[in-house]
Structure formats: structure tokens, C-alpha cells
Homo-oligomer: A and B are copies of this chain.
Amino acid sequence: MSLHPVVSRPGGRSSRVLTAVYTSVGELVGEGADKITFPVIAERAGVNPTTLYRRWGDVTDLLEEVAVAALTRESEAVPDTGSLEGDLTDWAIAIARDIARPQRARFLRAMVAARIDIVTSCAVTDTRREQASLMASRADERGEKSPTAQQILDHIIAPLYYRVIFALELDPEYARQLVGDVLSMAG
């Protein structure tokens, strides 16, 4: 998927349409709608379905864009506590709290259920990878041993999302354990 930066000026028509579309998607996912299609979203948002087809091409792209917009808003600032352990702990706990909320969990499940073919990139993963790289490179600059960004993704992000996707209990203590495990890999 790609983001289409059509929001030319704040408060303009594009911005209003975007807000209505995002809100409608969030509502439909939150209500556990069986089938989230462009016509369904368009009706809820009060826009022409053609607008959606033209802009996103595929409903999966729109769902993912909304998911990324939400998570970027809520965890935009990557923690900078002065130690990798502190950074990873704050980051993992914030993510655990965020994705365990019922609305977000339903959203994630709806998003993955909409996928059919193998995707070459996943915006959720890409965003998390950038955040992990930033924390790992700060640790390197401080001379701390650090796992790779890929290890941080595989051993913190994947288990957190696994729990949410499979609807298993997820608490901050679990996030702490994962951080301990991944730090023990740092070499």
C-alpha cells in the first residue's frame, strides 16, 4: 500500500472527506461489521463510492492506512529514556496497551482477515521496524549492546500482536518479559 498525500490544506474538502472515511471505517470495525466494502464505507461516510475506488483501489489498502494513521498518532514519539532497556520497555508497554483495546483488537483482526494474497510490505510492520531501528541505533551511539531491529520486531512486536490477534490476554508484565528476552540476545 502507499499513502496518498492529497490533504493539500488543513480543513479543506479533502481533509473533511478523509476524516469522514477514517471515522466510518473505525466505526464499522468497532461494530464488528461482517463485510467492510467500499459501498458500505461510502454510505456511512456520506461520500461517493467512486471517490474511494479512485483513491485507494482496494479496501485492504484503506483499512491498513487507517490502522497506521491511528497507531502513528498514538505512539509518534519513540521513547528516549537514555537506555535501551528503558526505551524498549516503555515502547512495548505502550503498544501492548494500545493494541489490547477491544476496538483496536477488532480492527487488527478485520485488517488481517481482509488479506488474501501475500503482501510485499505491511505498513504496521514497516512503522514498527523504523521505530525499532531508531532505538537500536541510539543504543549503538551510547555504546550499549543491542539486538537488531529485526530481532526487536520478531521477539517483541510479533508476540504482542500474536496475543491480540488470537484474542489472548495481554498485560504490561508480558511486554516486560519480552523485553528481557530480546535484551538477552544482544551481542
Contacts and interface: CB of A to CB of B under 8 A. Distances in A.
Contacts of A109: 112-113, 115
The 8 closest A-B pairs by CB, nearest first: A113-B113, A158-B162, A158-B159, A115-B167, A154-B159, A119-B167, A158-B158, A122-B166
Interface stretch (A2-10, A91-99, A178-186): A178-186
Most B Cβ at <10 Å: residue of A109, A178, A187: A109
B185 A118 contact: no
A77 interface: no
A34 interface: yes
A125 B34 CA distance: 26
Interface residues of A, number: 37
Given A109-B115, A116-B32, A124 B155 contact: no
Q: Is chain A's interface secondary structure helix, strand, loop, or mixed overall?
A: helix
B151 A181 contact: yes
Nearest to A150: B177
Contacts of A187: 184
A181 B155 contact: yes
Contacts of A181: 151, 154-155, 185
A13 interface: no
A168 B109 CA distance: 15
Nearest to A118: B167
Given A113-B113, A154-B181, 11 more contacts: A35-B35, A112-B113, A112-B167, A115-B166, A116-B167, A120-B169, A122-B168, A155-B155, A155-B159, A155-B181, A158-B159
A97 B122 CA distance: 21
